[in-house]
Chain A
Amino acid sequence: MSVQTTYQNIRRHPLAGPVVRFVAENSAIVALVAIVVIATILAGDNFMSQTNIINILRTVSIIGIISLGMTLIIISGGIDLSVGSALVLMGAGGIWVLNETHSIILSLLSTLAGGLIIGAINGTIITRGRVTPFIATLGVMATCRSLALYLLNGGGISATVPRYEVISNGDLFGISYPVFYFVIMTALVYVFSQKTPLGRYIYAVGSNEKATHLSAINVNRVKVLTYMIGGAMVAGAAIIETSRLNSVSAASSGTGYELDAIAAVIIGGTRMSGGKGSVIGTFFGVLILGILNNMLTLLGVSPFVTGTVKGIIIIVSVLVQRKE
């Protein structure tokens, strides 16, 4: 009934309705299928091989987990530009703790704490300081990168505890761990966003902040918590990233991650002004970006052109969504 009302105007043929409706509601999935088909035709067996598919999933898992948090932040009506730099700072901190204490648990906990703190700082500047999210997180972005460069003397830091790299480089049934992390985190964040009060408040704040406030909900608290969840996701991504390479570089790690994450969220169909969207859409958005990269590499296209294709996909996906 609800669907009929929404899409009445495009109902013509009895079959056309459901088809159009499916495309409209799941544009990210449809786009994904289209891209997979194109990739298979163009790159054939190379693309559809099991190792290649797992390789794609492994590569996107870091951006993927960041994108989950970014989705919630954008649904709440905000944005977080600090994710890439924050990843470097908390990753470096985590390795430092690891090298000092030789405790992987302590290292993980300290990275997570770092993520929560940076998220809390973002959220507090935005709510208490009434700074727009773009500006606040831009400032935090610059600060985090600069602190990392200063603390690491412009260089990097490597882990001295060998077991640390197992976190990212181990595998189960031939599938590397990060793939599991990404899939499990997607499921958890999805359930959180759909089933818990805080999840629903995040949507409410993005949809109508004033009405949410006047429904006796502490909007500031919701926002701060949203950025803290985003920070925790970045911490998870930082752990995977540092463990995969067993090191982190102050200058080059995490650059451009914020743009990739925002792109994945947009391709996934989340409304930039907040109130509407889903982490499931983002999951497929992440896959689309990953497959695109992979396909262009397999086809031997210059890596410098990848950005152009990515840019076009972002704009096209927004145009298609607006048509609905």
Chain B
Amino acid sequence: MNGLILDMRKMWKSFQGQSALRGVDFSLHAGEIHALIGENGAGKTTLMNILGGVVLPDAGEILVNGRHASIPTPAASHRLGISFIHQELNLVNDLRVYENFFLGAELRTAIGFVDEQAMCARTSEILRTLDVAIDPREMVGALDASYKQVVEIGRALLANAKILIMDEPTTSLTEHEIRYLFTVMRSLAQRGVSVIFISHKLKEVLTVCDGYTVLRDGSVAGSGRVSPSVSEEDLARLMVGREMAVEHFYEPRPLGGTVLAAEHLSSDRFFRDVSFELRRGEILGFTGLVGDGRTELFECIFGSRKKTGGRVVVEGVPRNLTHPEKALAAGIGLAPKNRKENALIKDFSVRSNATIARLRAFLRGPFIDSRRESLRTQEHVKNLNIKVSDINLPITSLSGGNQQKVVLAKWIEAGSRIMILDNPTQGIDVGAKAEIYHLVISMAQEGKSIIILSSEIPEVLKVCDRVAVMYHGELVGVLDRDSATEESVMMYATGAKGRADALQQERSHA
């Protein structure tokens, strides 16, 4: 017994002639938190789906606890003590915590009714071992995101899980919640449960994991122990397979006059008295913690949410933007967050997605001139370096980064002079992120004004001229590029520094 709870050897898998895994080795010790990282399409999902019994490998062997195992179905995976916690949590919001715990396997009393008392007791017991005080009778929908993760973990423990697969569990969590989740993970590990942690956030990997495996193009690019000598750059290099050019995106450029001014904007619950200005050619970052109101603020400026006070002035003209149609006419475009739900017309081709906001430009008589439409789309594909072999392919066949570029193309096509990008690199791998940043910069150089909403402070610092920080619906600070550091922004984002300080700083700068 070498302490290996899981040993996957020489895993091969191909889909329709495309190999997804080429002889991948992956092993996991009991009580280890092991990071599985790699760009999108590197094979992480396939490898984990094999473990979860969702797909069968073409070749290779799996040893669980030193014994050969075959995992033909998810049920078999469960029996081996493997639990998969998906990114989109698998919880029913309208049921109580204990009901979610026992969903489909309810405990029953002697006469066949559900035994609420026994289930609650067992649920409390497990939650106690996780050091959380959640009432088993609480509705899951009323819980914070991190507690929902804990409920999922608890449910896995109820099923006696020995190996937990967590797929990007931190994406929707705040800093504070992430720290809490890590504590829970560590206490699990101490009790001998092994965790496979899938993440794009290398910093988190170095914080919480014991070991790592990096996949690239279906092969292991590197693996080892996490130690102080392993840096984020090391991991990033393994992921992309080349020296990352020292990330230098920002170029100072001359800024023009004010193109967008928000004056005392308010919306009942979400934000209060927000004022800011955006200049021509400027990239303005908006950051803060989850629930800071920035998304709602810009939904309001884009006309898809009602405001209760204040006004928006676009290029010197006060506008009453009550519908996205009017925002479009005023030259404002919005690439919303949660691309799949909010930005993609999933049944449409790349072409139809790129042109939908300005179809009228392609009219010949009453009809769409599809030849002209195709030519324009081809141009965008070329200019934005969108990787697609045929613009008539469904948008869903593209990778996240390329989908996002199509969304950008839509607003470029629509002639937007002010672009609001909400979480533009969500679910996009490292290489494509860099491309998006370059695109943003080059759009700014062409004189477009850009607002980037992101909770990732390093991302905002990378490309923005100024950084605005929101806290609980208030704009608490606007920092110049020179004075904005990860630490200073975080001070504002957590409410440690307030509006008065920001004003003082602005004054001392001027």
Interface positions of A (Cβ within 8 A of B): 1-2, 5-6, 8-9, 191, 195-197, 200-201, 203-204, 207-208, 210-218, 275-276
- List, in ascending order, chain B residues with CB within 8 A of A275's CB: 345-347
B336 near A214 with CB under 8 A, answer yes
- List, in ascending order, chain A residues with CB within 8 A of B302's CB: 214
- List, in ascending order, chain B residues with CB within 8 A of A197's CB: 359-360, 363, 368
A200 near B352 with CB under 8 A, answer yes
- List, in ascending order, chain B residues with CB within 8 A of A203's CB: 345, 347-348
B368 near A196 with CB under 8 A, answer yes
Q: Of A200, A208, A214, which is within 8 A of B359 by CB?
A: A200
A2 near B342 with CB under 8 A, answer no
- List, in ascending order, chain B residues with CB within 8 A of A1's CB: 389-390, 393
In angstroms, Cα B367 to Cα A212, docked, is: 20
A5 near B323 with CB under 8 A, answer no
Residue of chain B at shortest CB distance from A6: B394
28 example contacts (A-B, Cβ-Cβ < 8 A) are as follows A1-B390, A2-B392, A5-B397, A6-B394, A195-B367, A196-B366, A196-B367, A200-B356, A207-B345, A207-B347, A208-B341, A208-B344, A208-B345, A211-B343, A212-B345, A212-B356, A214-B304, A214-B342, A215-B324, A215-B357, A216-B323, A216-B324, A216-B328, A216-B414, A217-B325, A217-B357, A275-B345, A275-B347
Q: Which of B391-445 contact A (CB under 8 A)?
A: 392-394, 397, 410, 414
Query: Smallest CB–CB gap between A273 and chain B, Å?
Result: 11
- List, in ascending order, chain B residues with CB within 8 A of A212's CB: 345, 356
- List, in ascending order, chain B residues with CB within 8 A of A210's CB: 341-342
Residue of chain A at shortest CB distance from B391: A2
A8 near B16 with CB under 8 A, answer yes
- List, in ascending order, chain B residues with CB within 8 A of A6's CB: 394
Q: Does B334 sit at the interface, judged by CB under 8 A?
A: yes
Residue of chain B at shortest CB distance from A9: B16
In angstroms, Cα B357 to Cα A6, docked, is: 26
B347 near A276 with CB under 8 A, answer yes
Residue of chain B at shortest CB distance from A276: B347
- List, in ascending order, chain B residues with CB within 8 A of A9's CB: 16
- List, in ascending order, chain B residues with CB within 8 A of A215's CB: 324, 343, 345, 356-357, 410
B393 near A5 with CB under 8 A, answer yes
Residue of chain A at shortest CB distance from B389: A1
In angstroms, Cα B345 to Cα A204, docked, is: 6
Q: Does B327 sit at the interface, judged by CB under 8 A?
A: yes
Q: Which of B334, B336, B367 has its CB near the most chain A CB atoms (within 10 A)?
A: B367
B368 near A200 with CB under 8 A, answer yes
Number of interface residues of B (CB under 8 A): 36
Query: Smallest CB–CB gap between B83 and chain A, Å?
Result: 29
- List, in ascending order, chain B residues with CB within 8 A of A8's CB: 16
CB < 8 Å A-B pair total: 86
Query: Smallest CB–CB gap between B167 and chain A, Å?
Result: 24
In angstroms, Cα B324 to Cα A218, docked, is: 8
- List, in ascending order, chain B residues with CB within 8 A of A2's CB: 349, 390, 392-394
A214/B347 contact (C-beta < 8 A), A195-B367, A196-B366, A197-B360 known: no
In angstroms, Cα B355 to Cα A215, docked, is: 10
In angstroms, Cα B396 to Cα A211, docked, is: 14
Residue of chain A at shortest CB distance from B335: A214
A214/B367 contact (C-beta < 8 A), A1-B390, A1-B393, A200-B359 known: no
A211/B341 contact (C-beta < 8 A), A8-B16, A197-B363, A217-B356 known: yes
A216/B325 contact (C-beta < 8 A), A2-B393, A197-B363, A200-B359 known: yes
- List, in ascending order, chain B residues with CB within 8 A of A195's CB: 366-368
**Given A204-B352, A211-B344, A216-B325, 7 further pairs, Cβ under 8 A:** A2-B394, A196-B366, A200-B352, A200-B356, A203-B347, A214-B336, A215-B345
A218 near B345 with CB under 8 A, answer no
- List, in ascending order, chain A residues with CB within 8 A of B360's CB: 197
In angstroms, Cα B397 to Cα A9, docked, is: 15
A-contact 0/1 string along B342-380, CB 8 Å cutoff: 111111110010001101100100111000000000000
Query: Smallest CB–CB gap between B422 and chain A, Å?
Result: 10
A-contact 0/1 string along B1-38, CB 8 Å cutoff: 00000000000000010000000000000000000000
Query: Smallest CB–CB gap between B390 and chain A, Å?
Result: 5
Residue of chain B at shortest CB distance from A8: B16
A213 near B324 with CB under 8 A, answer yes
Query: Smallest CB–CB gap between A278 and chain B, Å?
Result: 12
Q: Of B343, B363, B394, B397, which is within 8 A of A214 by CB?
A: B343
- List, in ascending order, chain A residues with CB within 8 A of B343's CB: 211, 214-215
In angstroms, Cα B359 to Cα A213, docked, is: 14
In angstroms, Cα B393 to Cα A214, docked, is: 22
A218 near B348 with CB under 8 A, answer no
Query: Smallest CB–CB gap between B18 and chain A, Å?
Result: 9
Query: Smallest CB–CB gap between B15 and chain A, Å?
Result: 8
Q: Which of A1, A204, A275 has its CB near the most chain B CB atoms (within 10 A)?
A: A204
- List, in ascending order, chain A residues with CB within 8 A of B334's CB: 214
Residue of chain B at shortest CB distance from A220: B323
B393 near A204 with CB under 8 A, answer no
In angstroms, Cα B356 to Cα A197, docked, is: 8
Query: Smallest CB–CB gap between A216 and chain B, Å?
Result: 4
- List, in ascending order, chain B residues with CB within 8 A of A214's CB: 302, 304, 324, 334, 336, 342-343
Q: Of B323, B336, B359, which is within 8 A of A218 by CB?
A: B323
Residue of chain A at shortest CB distance from B393: A2
Residue of chain B at shortest CB distance from A275: B347
- List, in ascending order, chain B residues with CB within 8 A of A216's CB: 323-325, 327-328, 357, 414
